[in-house]
Amino acid sequence: MNFEGTYVAMVTPFTQDEEIDEEGFRSNINFLIEKGVNGLVGAGTTGESATISHEEHHKVIDILVDEVDGRVQTIAGTGSNATSEAFSLTQYAYDAGADAALLITPYYNKPQPQGLIDHYGCIAEKIDIPLIAYNVPSRTGTNMDVETIVELAKIDGVDAVKEASGSVDKVSDIYRALTHEGLEDDFNILSGEDSLTMPIMAVGGTGVISASANIDAKRMVLMVDSILNDDYTRAMELHYEMLELIRALFVESNPVPVKTAMNIMGLPSGPLRAPLAEMREENLEILKKALKDSNLI
């Protein structure tokens, strides 16, 4: 499966008693589709997957697939640090009709390269759904090396990587290695860091899975589409227009600032699940200023 364009790592909106806000989630889905996004990710890490139950996880996937109804690609977050649990969640996503699954590298247990290859390979072999591997070492303690990512690209069914190591050099090395193996047309590199989307795409990336697009999808779509159309002048303008906002949205742990911003903007979001806490006052002021400067409030 080809992954190209702007994908939104959606928040999971909660009611004040911390139940999933189904009506709000459906509203956010339609809001983002109207902005021209190419796909939506539900129950990923921005969606607080670490603190929702399996039953809630299933509910988010069901709502996503139902409300999108084929209008854009649907991607279910199904990663876990246990292969058996990731397998179960991915099987559910397949049965629910999701177009693809996003699987974070197993966290805390820090599997070796062969363990990572076996983890993704086992799931890809048994479930016929395109998989996106998610490399985010700041969260997991594991940084997939270039060689491991290339080995994943050789597995039928592992079609992309969401790369959030923070290194554009690494993305260059991944793309060069894929090209050497003749895999560059069959395996996509997606930016996992909003502020690096433009440089990542300039060296071989095909899009972004974005948290900031929850509130500023229009400009992210315009920038990504500009890059895909080789209009780097316009893309650079949009990159710098969004940069202050993107930085403000990561001034504290994601998704704390983006959910806070959505509440300020009147978009369905609701409270955070513990152990996440409200923003510190000085960081809240940084966020509010960025929202005002971006004409979002």
Q: Give the amino acid at 28.
A: N
Catalytic residue among 59, 134, 170, 259: 134
292 as an active site residue: the answer is no
User: Which structure tokens are listed for 175?
Assistant: 């793309």
Of 89, 60, 82, 16, which is closest to residue 268 (Cα–Cα)? 16
134 as an active site residue: the answer is yes
Of 269, 259, 262, which is closest to residue 15 (Cα–Cα)? 269
Instruction: List, in order, residues 6 or more apart from 101 with CB less than 8 Å away.
Output: 75, 76, 77, 78, 89, 90, 93, 94, 129, 130, 131, 132
How many beta carbons lie within 10 A of that of residue 33, not counting itself?
Answer: 19
The conformational region for residue 108 under phi > 0 = left, psi -120 to 50 = alpha, else beta, is left
Catalytic residue among 59, 162, 170, 259: 162
Active site residues: 134, 162
